[in-house]
């Protein structure tokens, strides 16, 4: 079975983990044949691209300004990120890594609302990049579903597409995500006891689901509390199959097809 990890930060291993290259190879040995590295700021650009150059046709980059990285200087940072995005766009036949999405971007009001206005502006700007360049978006939305949904609804002109990374909303909210034409990133939380995510996946189409780890965070049971890695994607996939009453092979085929379609892999 072939699996895809649609969101990982393997380029920044947790303390005690092996090198990023070893983690990529370990995932490949576990059947995770493609991995998408989530960029979060200017500092992540080079380590992400370095890993993508080392594993062409296996590791792919995204680029964006994470909402918790938005500060007073966000416009200067966005200008530089946009130049990186433009320089690595449209090179699918050029032998060099190319960005497969804008992200992760969004709104995060979990701990600090100081830069909420700046987060909103940065979010709109990057959504418009995605529309301009016909790329999907990877959305980080934490304690801010209504705020993010309001902006997405305004910006959705029929061309916006993407995924709610590490989806943590309700069943009711998932219906609104589907109305906007977005997908759901499902990770290790699916395996947690008392998590509400199983009810969500039962109520959305399998065609709207992709798998992710968000490594090195949110490791699935039985590794909960330990560093996560892309090699654990099959654990999430088997849990998804169990919840939906399908075979692991069917879960692998569907989520891989979904990911390839969304990210153009």
CA proximity to 107, closest of 159, 164, 62: 164
Bridge partners of 32, per DSSP, are 3
- What letter does residue 31 receive in the DSSP assignment? T
Span 206-221, mean pLDDT?
98
**pLDDT in the model for residue 87:** 78
pLDDT in tens, 97-129: 899 999 999 999 998 999 999 999 999 999 999
Give the per-residue pLDDT at 61.
96
Q: Give the position of tokens 């993407």.
A: 162
Tokens of 98: 């190319």
- Give the domain CATH number at 98: 3.20.20.140
Q: How many domains in the chain?
A: 1
pTM for this one?
0.96
Radius of gyration, alpha carbons of the chain: 17
Alpha helices in 69-227 (DSSP H): 74-87, 116-133, 145-155, 171-180, 197-202
Evaluate whether 23 touches 17 at the Cβ level (below 8 Å). yes
Beta-sheet strands, E only, within 13-77: 32-37, 59-63
- Residue (of 76, 44, 80, 43) closest to 62 by Cα position: 44
Domain housing 105: 3-263
Residues 6+ apart with CB under 8 A from 75: none
* DSSP code of residue 69: G
Tokens of 214: 């968000």
């Amino acid at each position: 079975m072939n699996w895809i990890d649609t969101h990982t930060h393997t380029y920044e291993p947790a303390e005690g983990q092996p090198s990023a290259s070893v983690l990529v190879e370990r995932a490949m040995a576990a059947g995770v044949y493609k991995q998408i590295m989530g960029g979060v700021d200017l500092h992540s650009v080079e380590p992400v691209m370095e890993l993508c150059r080392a594993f062409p046709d296996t590791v792919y980059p995204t680029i964006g300004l994470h909402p918790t990285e938005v500060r007073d200087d966000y416009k200067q940072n966005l200008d530089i990120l946009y130049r990186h995005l433009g320089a690595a766009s449209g090179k699918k036949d050029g032998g060099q890594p190319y960005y497969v999405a804008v992200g992760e971007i969004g709104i995060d009001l979990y701990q600090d609302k100081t830069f909420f206005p700046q987060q909103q502006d940065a979010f709109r700007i990057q959504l418009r990049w995605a529309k301009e360049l016909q790329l999907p978006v990877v959305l980080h939305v934490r304690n801010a579903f209504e705020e993010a949904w309001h902006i997405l609804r305004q910006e959705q002109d029929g061309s916006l597409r993407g995924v709610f990374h590490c989806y943590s909303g309700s069943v009711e909210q998932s219906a609104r995500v589907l109305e906007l034409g977005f997908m759901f990133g499902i990770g290790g939380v699916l395996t947690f006891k008392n998590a509400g995510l199983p009810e969500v996946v039962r109520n959305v189409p399998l065609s709207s689901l992709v798998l992710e780890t968000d490594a090195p965070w949110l490791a699935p049971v039985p590794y909960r509390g330990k560093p996560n890695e892309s090699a654990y994607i099959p654990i999430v996939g088997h849990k998804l199959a169990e919840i939906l009453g399908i075979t692991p092979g069917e879960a692998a085929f569907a989520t891989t097809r979904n990911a390839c379609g969304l990210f153009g892999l």
